[in-house]
Structure 1
Amino acid sequence: MSLSIFGFQANWSPYFLISLLVITAFYFYVTVKKRNAFQESEPLTRNEIGYFMSGMVLLYIIKGSPVDILGHILFAVHMGQMAFLLLLVPILLMKGIPWWVWEAILRKSAIRKPLQFLTKPLLSLIIFSMFFSFYHIPLIHDQIKMNELVHATVTSLLFLSAFLMWWSVIDVTRNQKTLHGLKKIGFIIASAVLITPACALIIFASEPMYATYTESDAWLKSMELCVPASTLADIDQAGITLSGPELFTGMSAVEDQQLGGIIMKIIQEVIYAVLLASVFFTWYRNEQAGADEITEQAMRDLQAKA
């Protein structure tokens, strides 16, 4: 059965798209037109534009395109959504906002003080890992997916917790005190280890765990998160019975569930590997530069004594 039966609004989320376009327009208004209003500023770079636009496009694909409907039909797609939403989009957006905008934001004590506390490396890592693990406990996950307000709130908080976690790794300002290179590497590895049990539980489960992907009533209720109730009613009146995800896939619920855990783990490993490589080579270059400076200073001292 085709996803087109759910209609244009459910498949392409025009209101969500408009919201992202407004945010994007505001981004360029602040960073280009109003740049001179900041105490310090620099012209927007191509890299910053690329990071920000990549983050916004990826966010729309994840939550606004037909991928979002597929995420309510296939658990494997849902896990791919979560991987990109939590492990990549925050990084892209953080790197896309210029350092001088971040510094202007952080000058406000009402923002700076809570952020300094919530972004403490160990605390932010524990908060994100616990949030992620609890979210995927079957009973909790099913309840979240059957209430629109709860789902929006929890997803937003989970995204925020990912943002806070990455704060210790991504340098967003020139004066930001992030972790030292080797500590960043340890932090990334610790993050990978802490979310592994949730993925392993999903991968090695021998029975379907989530009612919202296996039971008709729970699945239909969860579909209301992305498909208007009126559309679902129209489909029912047209004589089409939506009994469950099996109408759209030949994969069994267990296979779909296991594939979801594998996809999450693979995406996480790839993103973390790229981050580790970036952090390591940046640290190595800095150490080499520091060593050269020390050597040059020592030579100058020797020449002065001579």
Structure 2
Amino acid sequence: MVFSSTLAATTAAAPIWNWTFDWTVVLGCGALLAAYYGAVGFKFNRKTVLWTIGVVTIFIALTSPIHDVGEHYLFSAHMLQHLLLLLIAAPLLVLGLPVGLMKRALRIGWVARTEKILSQPLFAWILSIGTLWVWHIPALYNAALVDHNLHIFEHLSFLVTAVIFWWTGLKPIARLQMNTLPAILYFFFAALASSILGLLLSFAPNSMFPTYINPIDTSHLLQVFRDGWDLSAHGDQQLGGVMMWSSGGFGYLAGVVVVMVRWYKRDQLKTFRENIALEQEREAQKSRLTPVTNDA
């Protein structure tokens, strides 16, 4: 009975499935794809797939029903939107960058200087994690929900600082990569900071965001979430906090996995080269010790 009433309420509120095609998002995603394929050509390989999925993730996060529901009704939906940008789109964009293209770009003086400044590990960490924390200050968070331009800036700042963060931790150019232990600590403390923020949101005694306490029910969805889903504003905030400390923490720890895989591959390659060199040395010694016969 509860399921049928929930289904009926959800079906009646058809706007929950609406997509919002904001021209800034459409143009931005189109520009990312055009610039990338213009630079590397229309090739089908692992890098192009990763980049394309990253851009598609941005598009889904900012135009799907997640956007409207998160902007007007549910903190947890807004949290999901931010996690898509921070932990899926941003690392996929970085992993999709071709090594050759990046090497050519870094031969340009101002690009190399800018990269050197932005990819200082401490700076990149504070910039990205600080942006995450600052935007969850209730006054600023609520301001972004009621001001469309500020909301665009919020999402843009999340994405840009996240790309800087993931670039610093997962640079595709081997000679620029952090050493293994510092890279592990870089991602570990990001996971820790994200989890702490999520726990603070989960265990806050009251709902901190007025927009979700008394939403303007323009799409007639409030009954669906409050009665159909039995989700109060405080319960919704707790759910969003759980998403932050669980998914957010594990998302950053995925960076540790990538670092460890790279370390293992480097170690295996080093061992392989050492074995080849040792075998060549043995063959050389054998040839020196083998007497030369003169059939004449």
For residues 56-113 of structure 1, what are the alpha-carbon distances to aligned partners after superposition, in whole Å with 9 as ceiling and x for unaligned? Answer: 2211111011111121211111111111211221111122232222233323333321
The range that moved more, 162-171 or 294-303, is 294-303
The yes-or-no answer on 1:180 pairing with 2:160 is no
The match for 2:207 is 208
The range that moved more, 205-214 or 288-297, is 288-297
The yes-or-no answer on 1:250 pairing with 2:249 is no
For residues 119-171 of structure 1, what are the alpha-carbon distances to aligned partners after superposition, in whole Å with 9 as ceiling and x for unaligned? Answer: 10111111212211111121221122221222222321222111111122223
Contact 1:182 / 1:283 at 8 angstroms: preserved in 2?
A: no
The range that moved more, 151-160 or 202-211, is 151-160
The match for 2:171 is 171
The match for 1:266 is 246
Contact 1:213 / 1:245 at 8 angstroms: preserved in 2?
A: no
- % identity of equivalent residues: 21
| Matches of 2:193 and 2:22, distance apart in 1 | 37
Query: Would the alpha carbon gap of residues 248 and 146 (structure 1) be closer, same or farther in structure 2, given more than 3 Å must change?
Result: farther
The range that moved more, 63-72 or 98-107, is 98-107
| Matches of 1:113 and 1:210, distance apart in 2 | 41
| Matches of 2:41 and 2:188, distance apart in 1 | 37
2:168 counterpart letter in structure 1? S
Contact 2:70 / 2:78 at 8 angstroms: preserved in 1?
A: yes
1:250 counterpart letter in structure 2? D
Q: How does 1:207-226 map to 2 (within 5 A)?
A: 207-215=206-214, 219-220=215-216
The match for 2:3 is none
The match for 1:226 is none
Contact 1:181 / 1:280 at 8 angstroms: preserved in 2?
A: yes
Contact 2:187 / 2:253 at 8 angstroms: preserved in 1?
A: no
Unaligned 5+ residue runs, structure 2? 1-8, 290-296
| Matches of 2:279 and 2:62, distance apart in 1 | 59
Unaligned 5+ residue runs, structure 1? 34-43, 224-231
Query: Would the alpha carbon gap of residues 45 and 252 (structure 1) be closer, same or farther in structure 2, given more than 3 Å must change?
Result: same
Contact 1:213 / 1:244 at 8 angstroms: preserved in 2?
A: no
Shift of 1:18: 5.3
The match for 1:13 is 21
1:283 counterpart letter in structure 2? W
| Matches of 2:14 and 2:30, distance apart in 1 | 24
Query: Would the alpha carbon gap of residues 151 and 118 (structure 1) be closer, same or farther in structure 2, given more than 3 Å must change?
Result: same
The match for 1:23 is 32
Query: Would the alpha carbon gap of residues 26 and 288 (structure 1) be closer, same or farther in structure 2, given more than 3 Å must change?
Result: closer
The match for 2:292 is none
Query: Would the alpha carbon gap of residues 46 and 242 (structure 1) be closer, same or farther in structure 2, given more than 3 Å must change?
Result: same
The match for 1:100 is 100
Shift of 1:261: 1.0
Q: How does 1:123-142 map to 2 (within 5 A)?
A: 123-142=123-142
1:21 counterpart letter in structure 2? G
1:291 counterpart letter in structure 2? T
Shift of 1:22: 4.7
| Partner SS for 2:32 | helix
| Partner SS for 1:167 | helix
| Partner SS for 1:78 | helix
Shift of 1:31: 1.6
1:146 counterpart letter in structure 2? V
Q: How does 1:277-292 map to 2 (within 5 A)?
A: 277-292=257-272
User: How many residues are treated as equivalent by the alignment?
Assistant: 274
| Matches of 2:52 and 2:161, distance apart in 1 | 22
The range that moved more, 12-21 or 188-197, is 12-21
Shift of 1:242: 7.5
Q: How does 1:34-53 map to 2 (within 5 A)?
A: 44-53=43-52
The yes-or-no answer on 1:144 pairing with 2:144 is yes
2:252 counterpart letter in structure 1? Y
1:212 counterpart letter in structure 2? T
CA RMSD of aligned residues (A): 3.1
| Matches of 1:184 and 1:271, distance apart in 2 | 15
The match for 1:36 is none
